Amino acid sequence: MTKGASVIDVRSIREREITLHGLAKADDRYIIYYDETNNIRRLHVRSDGLNVREPKCFVVGGIVHRGTPRPLPIAELRLYVCNSMPPR
């Protein structure tokens, strides 16, 4: 820990938010598979502009399921998503 840093116990804040929003399953175990499309990692503002010539829309998308990790049928998911999207 960095000198002068302090530890914040967030349990009371967490419990208050869970109660306020009725998050009955907040302590269940979840697995999240996600993708950070167009994540440039670091964007710097410099005197001559940005360090990225053309920043694109940054999107985080994913799938969540309750329980332990299990195989994810990527091909089936792609078919489902592609067939569910309206034509361009």
Quick one: three-class SS letters along the chain?
Answer: CCCCCCCCCCHHHHHHHHHHHCCCCCCCCEEEEEEEECCCCCCCEECCEECCCCCCCCEEEEEEEECCCCCCCHHHHHHHHHHHCCCC
How much of the chain exceeds pLDDT 70, in percent? 95
Q: Is residue 11 part of a domain?
A: no
Residue 67 lies in domain: 28-84
- 4 in a structural domain: no
Q: Decide if pLDDT at 51 tops 70.
A: yes
| 28 pLDDT tier (thresholds 50, 70, 90) | very high
| pTM across the whole model | 0.45
> Count of domains in the chain?
1
- Is 72 inside any structural domain? yes
